[in-house]
Amino acid sequence: MSKLSKKITIEKINNSASVIAEDFVAIEEPLEIQICSERSDHSAAKSLSITMRTPGNDHDLATGFLFTESIIKKDSDIQSIESVGEVDQINGEQNTVRVTLDKSVDLEMDKLTRHFYTTSSCGVCGKSSIEALENEGCKVNTSKFSIAKSELLELPQKLRDTQISFDKTGGLHAAGIFSSDGEIILAREDVGRHNAVDKVIGSLYRENKLPANNLGLIVSGRTSFELMQKTIVAGIPLIVAISAPSSLAINLAKEYDVTLVGFLRGESFNIYSGKQRIYR
């Protein structure tokens, strides 16, 4: 099992007092995502992305990234996925995932040769336009998925209960997939919000559960353009955030009829789009 945190020694200051103490910090390590194809002209593995992530569920992360970037669209597009390279002595994981795609997938390798560098905080910063989603063929979400207000209010605590390492580190985001009765059926942690979302979407993809038009997504932080983009590509009709949405995320939610909830705290929340999916 992957280590999500590690123990360190710190000096703790409280007013004028100073003590040496042990603390836990979230692990952040680079993951390289490579792609290749059964086609002879694309058989050599090519580095597509380097993302700073918390080790664990790396295959889900790579799959989710490829799906939400519209490089893959269906289960048969992936022939194999494997971790390669040396085992990292700190996290116990190999830090490269190699995905071999079916020869039917049009890689457009010239376009994919741009090397993405993804930090744990901002995601893929180069993709920031509504036109990009339109070019991927995304459509308005017509799902009749709905959830009761009472069930919605319980989601933050249910997500919190799934966060294995948050109590130790306080430094990990979480993403959870929930059903219409408010149950968290899948959750992942990561130092990056976008990575946590890619991990749950990747898991759904590998279980052949996309488009996820009968499920909702909850995230522990804010909703940015990129998280809304991933939500739309995955066909998820409702995204809930503990914090604020960005203006572009709101615009996208309205354009694609995705229900967007923000500032879900205690007994209150804001609905920015798609209020028809929340009933009292």
Side-chain-facing half-sphere of 150: CA atoms under 13 Å: 2
User: Out of 36, 122, 125, 138, which one is annotated catalytic?
Assistant: 122
φ, ψ for residue 6, nearest 5 deg = -140, 155
Closest CA to 97 of 36, 39, 40: 36
The yes-or-no answer on residue 122 being catalytic is: yes
Work out the angle at residue 68's Cα, subtended by the Cα atoms of residues 116 and 114, and round it to the nearest 5 degrees. Answer: 20
Q: Which residue matches tokens 């040396």?
A: 86
> Residue type at 273?
S
Residues sharing a CB contact under 8 Å with residue 30, sequence separation 6 or more, in sequence order:
50, 51, 52, 53, 95
Give the β-pairing of 173-178 and 184-190.
Answer: antiparallel
Active site residues: 122
